[in-house]
Amino acid sequence: MVNSRAEAYAPATVANIGAGFDILGLAVDGAGDVITVELRDEPGAVILSIANDEGKLPRAADKNVASIAAAACLKQIGARQGVGIHLKKGLPSASGLGSSAASAVAAAVAVNALFGEPLRREELLPASLEGEAAVSGYHADNVAPCLLGGITLTNGTSIERIRRLPVPQSVFLALVTPDVAVPTSEARAALPAQVSLKQMVQQTGAVAELMDAIYRDDVVALAAAMERDGVVEPARAHLMPYLHEVRFAAKRAGALGLVISGAGPTLCAVCADEATAARVANTMQEFYAAAGLHSLIRHGKIRTQGAAVTAVS
């Protein structure tokens, strides 16, 4: 069955989760991107409108992650018709919240819904990755949790290389996004080309502890392991305004740990309950305000569902 219109939502994500650079990610409840697709007789995908992007995102179909993902999904389905896309951004670009992944995933999910969902959720990974690749490279640390939900371990770009991990029930997140842009390309350029054997052992040990904490639902151990990144955070710290000062303020407000979300500048604090997460988020925002920086905050649990179809007609 082919519908005339479909809408999908895709959530924000936190890639790396501290020590798990390029292999771990999680979906966050709350803010995300919404895409509405309309059936068109002409093949392919075109952008009809974009809201809340301040005119920054490309409208050209071969440049926008949403239309690229939609076109890839249409091709995978074998559709003769095409789609027009309305994109409503709920996530700022270059923020470390998986903004491009959310647009790509929402587009693929919406197109699939438009055509009666002929593809399983896992089969939407290639189309979502095609869109993400236009901005952030062909990797799934944001796309996988955005599409599938929860916490994902990604060791490749095929669905066979992605594992969904248990979601600890005692983990609450507080996120703050200061009003500065950190493009993924700039964040990657800051990384060291080589690491020492000692660093490698320490980093793999931190990832092992992080995985152990996830499986034991130990929020204290999880926060500690996340902060043991000895490679990526030290190289990128200068790109994050007041990273160490905000970490100190967050912990004084009750946070158990704080890491950079993805490429930044969003910072993600781990808390043991919702009230603490709300307090920590407010504290971080107040710190940035005192420093003369506007910021956005959010708090909540890890989203277990991932992207979702919100309307079909």
For 175, the 3-state DSSP assignment is: strand
In order along its 313 residues, the chain shows pLDDT tens digits of: 799 999 999 999 999 999 999 999 999 998 899 999 999 999 999 999 999 988 889 999 999 999 999 999 999 999 999 999 999 999 998 899 999 999 999 999 999 999 999 999 999 999 999 999 888 778 899 999 999 999 999 998 899 999 999 999 899 999 999 999 887 778 888 999 999 999 999 999 999 999 999 999 999 999 999 999 999 999 999 999 999 999 999 999 999 999 999 999 999 999 999 999 999 999 999 999 999 999 999 999 999 999 999 999 9
Residue-level pLDDT at 55: 84
Residue-level pLDDT at 185: 79
Here the tokens at position 34 are 């919404």
Level-2 CATH architecture, domain 172-301: 2-Layer Sandwich (3.30)
End-to-end CA distance of the chain: 11
Per-residue CA distances from 212 to 13, 155, 164, 224 (Å): 21, 18, 14, 12
Residue-level pLDDT at 254: 98
Phi/psi of residue 153, each to 5°? Answer: -105, 120
Q: How far apart are CA 98 and CA 181, in angstroms?
A: 13
Burial readout 224-246 (b: 16 or more C-beta within 10 A, e: otherwise): bbbbbbbbbbebbeebbbbbeeb
Nearest to 234 by CA among 183, 191, 189: 191
Catalytic annotation, residues: 132, 184
Level-2 CATH architecture, domain 5-165+303-312: 2-Layer Sandwich (3.30)
Q: How many residues does this entry show for the chain?
A: 313
Residue spans per domain, the chain? 5-165+303-312, 172-301
Contact partners, residue 26, CB within 8 Å, separation at least 6: 13, 14, 17, 145, 150, 151, 152, 302
pTM: 0.94
